[in-house]
């Protein structure tokens, strides 16, 4: 399976099953596409005969022969037209230990962001609630107990707004550090915050203890404040920007992300990414909002051409700034072509409901943070003696790119791993039916990422 595309001055081919990426000139691009569409094998004489016939007015037969020989060599080396002969065993996932936990330390928030999937912190329940330090500690025990031989364990403090319950965060971290020594584990903590309560004391603790911090901001002031505001309606931009800049600098401009959401209100979102870069941030992630089509800010299919243009605008500037020595990282354009994850990880995806679980303030367990509050997806509790709901666990374990018909013929499948199952469930009612709009945007981002690789390899 081969995917080819043109972007700006580049002709690129991705051999999906080997993961090989090739940059071609126009002649080899045309010949490759012709052979692929016609189903011709470059090692057969017929391929040369038919290709010369097709392109005789544009290219010499000597040049075509040379290209076909090169394509045949790549095929022999499994770098083009490689077969998808990988056999995935989902039994591995069914019995996989838990290695990552999203700890809902606060189901309360001091912002009222318009698009909040977490229902402004309440997670579709009637109450705002903070997790007790005791429940958090029991969650750490649960994680260690169920982590088997996995050494690296991840815990993300999430909300609502985690800084509204920071004393509990500190107690839980301290307790987990004791467990590390006893059980030969390594806890990697992360925290996601809107920044309203971020101060020097909290930042000192976070910098000492947390491997990553996610800072929520959407970009330009007018864009951010239109959707990210307090209960009294005032926007968050002015108070969070200085705090976030200080945070980024204090962490050496690494191991953090400023993370935004773009909506239909700012389809010119490349300006927001560049605004964040102009504020001095080097680690940036801005992602499409995911929600039903019933709101005025939700993205629609008709917006895709505009969104694709924006991603192209962004990648052009992204490459230019990198070349000028004033680059930044954009999370969705970062692809590791050589040292990335193994195919098993790429097929199985995020591992939610198996390797990754979310714990609500009362100790209830869900497949991931997006499912919290949904009774149908409650898997059990950290206080239960027995194992989590086996049927639910098996259902999530069996979810992978081969179980999703929409993924089978998608060139991006080994890059996105089938996308977010919670979004699939929200939009299509099934964890095995990916959200089409998200897929379209993912494919565009993969193309932009590969273009950036080619452009920066010059």
Partner 1 sequence: MKRIKTLNSATLKKSACKGGCGECQTSCQSACKTSCTVANQKCENEER
**Binding residues for partner 1 restricted to 11-50, rule: CB under 8 A:** 15, 17-25, 27-28
| CA separation for the pair 159, 379 (Å, rounded) | 19
Q: Please report whether residue 104 would count as binding partner 1 according to CB under 8 A.
A: no
Residue 273's H or E segment, with its range, is helix 270-278
* Residue 425, burial from CB neighbour count under 10 angstroms (0-12, 13-18, 19+): buried
Map residues 277-306 to x or -, x wherever contact with partner 1 holds by CB under 8 A.
Answer: --------x-xxxx----------------
C-alpha to C-alpha distances, 358 to 143, 172, 229, nearest whole angstrom: 11, 16, 26
Binding-site size, partner 1 (CB under 8 A): 89
Q: Please report whether residue 72 would count as binding partner 1 according to CB under 8 A.
A: no
- Assigned token pair, 144: 């260690």
Q: Please report whether residue 370 would count as binding partner 1 according to CB under 8 A.
A: yes
Between 58 and 200, name the residue whose CB sits nearer to partner 1.
Answer: 58
| Unique residue bearing structure tokens 């019995």 | 95
Under rule CB under 8 A, which residues in 243-282 are in contact with partner 1?
257, 259, 261
Helix, strand, coil share (%) of the chain residues, nearest 5: 45, 15, 40
Between 345 and 383, name the residue whose CB sits nearer to partner 1.
Answer: 345
Nearest approach, Cβ of residue 313 and partner 1 (Å): 19
- Assigned token pair, 71: 């394509």
- Which of residues 97, 170, 239, 303 is near partner 1 by CB under 8 A? 97
- Which parts of 239-374 are beta strand (E)? 256-262, 283-288, 329-330, 356-359, 364-366
Nearest approach, Cβ of residue 320 and partner 1 (Å): 19
Between 26 and 38, name the residue whose CB sits nearer to partner 1.
Answer: 26
Under rule CB under 8 A, which residues in 414-433 are in contact with partner 1?
414-417, 419-423
Q: Please report whether residue 51 would count as binding partner 1 according to CB under 8 A.
A: no
| CA separation for the pair 62, 308 (Å, rounded) | 38
Between 130 and 425, name the residue whose CB sits nearer to partner 1.
Answer: 425
User: In sequence order, what are the residues at sequence separation of 6 or more whose Cβ sits closer than 8 angstroms to the Cβ of residue 95?
Assistant: none
How many other C-beta atoms lie within 10 A of the C-beta of residue 7?
17
> Taking contact as CB under 8 A, which single stretch among the options 92-100, 162-170, 177-185, 235-243 is the one that binds partner 1?
92-100
- Which of residues 36, 108, 129, 156 is near partner 1 by CB under 8 A? 156
Under rule CB under 8 A, which residues in 382-411 are in contact with partner 1?
none
- Which of residues 35, 168, 217, 350 is near partner 1 by CB under 8 A? 350
């Amino acid at each position: 399976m081969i995917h080819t595309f043109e972007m700006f001055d580049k002709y690129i081919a991705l051999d999906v099953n080997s993961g090989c990426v090739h940059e071609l000139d126009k002649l080899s691009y045309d010949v490759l596409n012709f052979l692929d569409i016609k189903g011709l094998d470059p090692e057969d004489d017929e391929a040369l005969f038919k290709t010369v016939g097709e392109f005789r007015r544009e290219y010499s037969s000597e040049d075509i022969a040379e290209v076909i020989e090169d394509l045949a060599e790549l095929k022999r080396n499994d770098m083009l037209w490689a077969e998808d002969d990988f056999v995935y065993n989902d039994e591995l996932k069914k019995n996989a230990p838990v290695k990552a936990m999203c700890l809902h330390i606060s189901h309360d928030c001091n912002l009222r962001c318009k698009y909040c999937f977490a229902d402004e912190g309440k997670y579709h329940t009637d109450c705002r609630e903070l997790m007790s330090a005791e429940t958090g500690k029991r969650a750490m025990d649960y994680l260690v107990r169920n982590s088997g031989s996995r050494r690296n364990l991840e815990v993300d403090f999430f909300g609502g707004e985690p800084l509204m319950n920071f004393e509990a965060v500190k107690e839980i971290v301290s307790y987990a550090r004791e467990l590390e020594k006893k059980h030969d584990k390594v806890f990697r903590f992360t925290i996601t915050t809107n920044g309203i309560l971020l101060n020097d004391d909290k930042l000192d603790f976070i910098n000492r203890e947390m491997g990553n911090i996610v800072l929520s901001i959407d970009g330009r002031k007018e864009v951010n404040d239109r959707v990210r505001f307090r209960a009294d309606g005032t926007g968050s931009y002015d108070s969070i920007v200085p705090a976030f800049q200080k945070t980024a600098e204090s962490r050496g401009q690494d191991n953090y992300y400023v993370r935004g959401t773009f909506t239909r209100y700012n389809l010119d979102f490349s300006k927001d990414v560049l605004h964040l870069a102009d504020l001095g941030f080097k680690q940036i992630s801005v992602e499409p909002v995911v929600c039903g089509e019933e709101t005025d800010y939700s993205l629609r299919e008709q917006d895709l051409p505009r969104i694709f243009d924006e991603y192209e605008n962004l990648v052009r500037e992204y490459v230019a700034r990198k070349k000028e020595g004033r680059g930044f990282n954009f999370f969705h354009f970062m692809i590791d072509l050589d040292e990335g994850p193994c195919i098993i990880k790429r097929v199985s995806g995020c591992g939610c409901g198996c390797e990754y679980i979310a714990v609500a303030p009362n100790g209830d367990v869900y497949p991931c943070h997006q499912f919290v509050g949904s009774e149908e997806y409650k898997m059990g509790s950290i206080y239960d003696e027995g194992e989590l709901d086996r049927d639910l666990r098996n259902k999530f374990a069996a979810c992978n790119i081969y179980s999703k018909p929409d993924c089978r013929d998608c060139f991006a499948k080994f890059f996105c791993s089938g996308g977010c199952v919670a979004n699939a469930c929200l939009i299509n009612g099934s964890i095995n039916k990916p959200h089409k709009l998200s897929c379209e945007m993912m494919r565009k981002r993969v193309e932009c990422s590969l273009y950036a690789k080619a452009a920066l390899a010059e």
